Chain A
Amino acid sequence: MAEKKPKSRLTAISESPVWKSIFRTGIPVTRRQRMMGILNNVFLHLHPVRLPKHAVKLKYTWCMGGLSFFLFLVLTISGILLMFYYRPTVEYAYTDIMDLSEQVPLGIMRELHRWGAHAMVIAVWLHMFRVFMTGSYKPPREFNWVVGVLLMFLTLFLSFTGYLLPWDQLAIWAITVGSNMARATPFLGHEGPGASLLAIGDINLVTMSSDVRFALLGGRFVGEGALLRFYVLHCIGLPFIIMIFMAVHFWRVRKDGGISGPV
Chain B
Amino acid sequence: MSEKPIPRAALNTPQDELSPAESVKRKGFISWLVVGWVAFASATGTFLAMIVRFLFPNVLFEPPQSFKIGFPDDFQIGVVDERFKALRGIWVIRDSEGIYVLSTVCTHLGCTPNWLRTEGKFKCPCHGSGFRKSGINFEGPAPRPLERYRIVLAENGQIIVDKSIKFQQEKGQWSHPEAFLKV
Q: Measuring CB to CB, which residues of chain A are less than 8 angstroms from any residue of chain B?
A: 173, 176-177, 180-181, 183, 209-210, 214-215, 218-221, 223-225
Contact = CB atoms under 8 A, between A and B. Distances in A.
Interface string B35-63: 00000000000000000100111001110
Given A177-B126, A218-B55, A223 B62 contact: yes
Interface string B93-136: 00000000000000001110000000000000010000000000
Contacts, number: 34
25 contacts: A173-B111, A176-B110, A176-B111, A177-B109, A177-B111, A177-B126, A180-B109, A180-B110, A181-B109, A183-B110, A209-B60, A210-B56, A214-B56, A215-B55, A215-B56, A218-B55, A218-B57, A219-B62, A220-B60, A220-B62, A221-B62, A223-B62, A225-B57, A225-B60, A225-B61
Contacts of A214: 55-56
Given A176-B110, A215-B55, 17 more contacts: A173-B126, A176-B109, A176-B111, A183-B110, A209-B56, A210-B56, A214-B55, A218-B57, A219-B62, A220-B60, A220-B62, A221-B110, A223-B62, A224-B61, A225-B57, A225-B60, A225-B61
Contacts of B55: 214-215, 218
Nearest to A173: B111
A215 B52 contact: yes
Nearest to B127: A177
A225 B57 CA distance: 10
The winner among A177, A215, A218 for most chain B CB atoms within 10 A is: A177
Q: Main secondary structure on chain B at its contact with chain A?
A: loop
Contacts of B62: 219-221, 223
A215 B109 CA distance: 17
Interface size of B as a range: 10 to 19
A214 B57 CA distance: 10
The winner among B55, B56, B57, B110 for most chain A CB atoms within 10 A is: B110
Contacts of B56: 209-210, 214-215
Contacts of A183: 110
Nearest to A183: B110
Contacts of B52: 215
A73 to B, nearest CB: 30
Interface string B56-98: 1100111000000000000000000000000000000000000
B110 A177 contact: yes
A172 to B, nearest CB: 11
A180 B61 CA distance: 20
A214 B61 CA distance: 14
A123 to B, nearest CB: 30
B119 to A, nearest CB: 23
A218 B132 CA distance: 32
Nearest to A214: B56
B109 A219 contact: no
A143 to B, nearest CB: 24
Contacts of B111: 173, 176-177
Contacts of A209: 56, 60
Contacts of A225: 57, 60-61
B171 to A, nearest CB: 9
A224 B57 CA distance: 13
Contacts of B110: 176-177, 180, 183, 221
Contacts of A180: 109-110
Contacts of A181: 109
Contacts of A176: 109-111
- For the complex of A and B, list the 7 residue pairs with the smallest distance between their C-beta atoms, beginning with the closest: A180-B110, A215-B55, A180-B109, A177-B109, A176-B110, A219-B62, A177-B126
A220 B164 CA distance: 11
A224 B60 CA distance: 10
The winner among A180, A181, A209, A223 for most chain B CB atoms within 10 A is: A180
